[in-house]
Structure 1
């Protein structure tokens, strides 16, 4: 469950956060949906958005919110790891029709349909149709631009460059093929060649697929990129289907 409400505590009265959540539940109960809430579990990554996560300490609103969820007749569960990853798996295996979150990493985890603000619905098919971005491309954008598990990505690489690399080169598809088809030892060897190709694309831009050359970004691609831990968090997150 993502924190989406911010209130002025001085003027909001007692328990302003829970009252805000109560209002959200009140909106949901009037809709033709069956809400199911998922909370982060104990095996979520230790670091998220550059901060250490207290994995055994629930959010202070959790108990009160769970009581409200049950009072409305809704259901909830604790994910093995990341809530977004669990929801993505539930969506993939048609346990739920859509995922409601403000976290765009949900698509990297494999979410097929995402709902925002009760009126905005995003489907992976529509995104692919409009942008041409495959799941492999979305993963590469997250690695280059940075995300929940690596807030920096490649230094100097903005979203425009990340999009150009993911959509106008074969780097995303090659990385995806290596992840799906090779053992760890072979993957490490193949990744070395992939890094060299990545550096060459950025520094030379021989095919003219980028708007300009980016030698400084190329120099930031170390032998530790992409992080195996970050890749594992996106590609093999802990879910009920793991």
Structure 2
């Protein structure tokens, strides 16, 4: 587990009747790239079901940067914690590209879950998986080097979003280098150095707006702390 959390989305687990009922209590909204969906600390309580596109869940760092906590895709729900407990937002959510969302007022979302046990169970599973992922990320920040965390992140991105092209797996998610750094809790400079090491080993390929993994197995070894000719 890592940035993605759950393997199956909330919407994907709903039956046709539940999906139709959910669509009926929300309002579709179009978000442009790099727009803010929810802001950390706000007292708003609406939830947003992502119908297409990708979002980052992030929190600011003491140095003025960002730490990306999670990535969310179509079919997942963001803003659900505040919708359920009414407390201030625990993190911000921003779009990576154009996103269509179904905005649901918190009270309606709670009533929907209360009236549909299967949907409520799916939400519980989603929250549990996200908690497990958060625990893993905290351990990684405390015990793994930048190179290890980057290797693990690239494997995860390739496994979850990759497209096999010739002899490499192209990561399809539009993450800039500073966003990749934010996803491993490091600086852009440290991640650039780690990427250079991986390029020199022939494990990754980079270009303008592109990132491809040439060999996943050595990256898995690196993430596990087993060196493959690189130095941290």
TM-score of the superposition, structure 2-length normalised?
Answer: 0.30
TM-score of the superposition, structure 1-length normalised?
Answer: 0.29
Structure of larger gyration radius: 1
Bigger relative contact order, structure 1 or 2 (CA pairs below 8 A, ≥6 apart): 2
